[in-house]
Structure 1
Amino acid sequence: MSQLAYWDGPGAAKTFTHPLRPERLADIPRDARVLDYGCGYGRLMGELGQLGFTDVSGVDLSPALIDRGRSEHPGLRFGVITDPPAVAAPGGSFDVVLLFAVLTCVPADADQRALIAEIARLLAPGGLLYVSDLLLQDDERNLARYAADQDGPYGVFTTDDGARCRHHSIEHLRGLLGGFEILAEEGVEVATMNGHRSRGAQLLARKA
């Protein structure tokens, strides 16, 4: 599951751009316990603080990204995931979990399911999962990349600088959240970490 060498190398300098929609969080108490899973350098954690959230923490598998986050956002709470996907926290520790552009970095079906199961464990009953990720693209560049990769599900590819990634159908994302109640879903356009415009989707789901 881990691509630590990439995220401690070229990935540590990337800029992440999936947009946080404040309206999705409008009804959440500002003292809710929020976890940004795959927080990178803390961009979303900083935005959550600006929105008034007071109990925000983030975890990532890359020590290099965490070090960058501590430098750029001193005072935020960061932790390193040493045994992906497990987080060293008791079950039910969080009211909200953000999972932004993380599934795209976890190509295998089994690893994605394990990640969602861990998030379900971490969420309190009725807790919210806010997912933002990339959809299958239909341009020639991406279609060629999908066709060239025969070692994973359709939509898996390797970037020019060595990251192994995955684009998803919306049906696949919905299926991963089968144990949750999906409250909202919308399409978004994002710039990838390598600067390409791509179609994505955001889903807000509640743990039963």
Structure 2
Amino acid sequence: MKDLGRQIAYWDTVGAEKTFTHPVNLGWLATVSRTARILDYGCGYGRVMAELSDHGFSDVSGVDLSPALIARGRQLHPDLRLAVLESPPYLPYSPTSFDVVLLFAVLTCIPDDDAQRALIAELVRVLAPGGLLYISDMVLQDDERNRGRYATYAQQFGTPYGVFATDDGAMVRHHVIVELHALLPDFDLMDERQTSVVTMNGHPSQAVQLLARKR
């Protein structure tokens, strides 16, 4: 996964100390069995996994490409099942291994269109028919600071509009919502909501959450 793979150095250094804040809407999971097989792809230090575990979900796994984030997660939550993802986006699981996959603030870290599609295809592979994909990610912001960053990078590099570098060196992407919808041809969109988050660098921002069911 070309654009994501080049950033392992960031997530193993500066990124390993970040705080992630995208909220979990537990109401969306109210009808999911507490024994459902759940995967948190891009789990970071296990924040979302711990919240799910605290609410009774008993079969939760997490993967992340950053050994430093996984090590942090194992120290914070030694009871959780966390693993380093060796060859993103490819997962060491058989087809239909999971009933729910969570993808929280992951697509923002994958600027490239093809790399995003490759990730979603891999999640389709490991999701059981009727399984749920829960995405939380960043949308285009309407403030002057972000508009300037989007325009600068689009002009210089021809990247998808909304791609830019943070002040501390991460390449990230903010999305038009229809771009996220377009990633889900194998799913039926069940629900969608806007939400407010604080970015990993402490800026208030707008995000979107999508709940989709695999056909």
Deviations 1:29-66 (A, max 9, x none): 00000000000000000000011000000000000000
- Letter aligned with residue 188 of structure 1: T
1:169 paired residue among 167, 176, 179 = 176
1:71 paired residue among 68, 75, 78 = 75
Distance 1:19 1:158 in 2: 24
Structure 1: gaps spanning 5 or more residues: none
1:195 paired residue among 186, 192, 202 = 202
Distance 1:66 1:80 in 2: 6
CA drift at 1:158: 0.1
Distance 1:185 1:22 in 2: 14
Distance 1:9 1:148 in 2: 26
- Identical aligned pairs, as a percentage? 62
CA drift at 1:166: 0.1
Distance 2:26 2:130 in 1: 19
| TM-align CA RMSD | 0.6
* 2:53 maps to 1:49: yes
TM-score (norm 2): 0.96
Structure 2: gaps spanning 5 or more residues: none
Number of aligned pairs? 208
SS in 2 for 1:200: strand
* 2:171 maps to 1:186: no
| 1:17-32 pair list within 5 angstroms | 17-32=21-36
Q: Equivalent residue for 1:130?
A: 134
CA drift at 1:179: 1.6
SS in 2 for 1:30: coil
2:85 paired residue among 81, 84, 95 = 81
CA drift at 1:193: 0.3
- Letter aligned with residue 201 of structure 1: V
Q: Equivalent residue for 1:140?
A: 144
- Letter aligned with residue 103 of structure 2: L
Distance 1:206 1:72 in 2: 32
Q: Equivalent residue for 2:165?
A: 158
CA drift at 1:148: 1.2
Q: Which runs of 4+ in 1 moved over 2 A?
A: none
* 2:83 maps to 1:108: no
1:99 paired residue among 103, 127, 141 = 103
Distance 1:154 1:95 in 2: 33
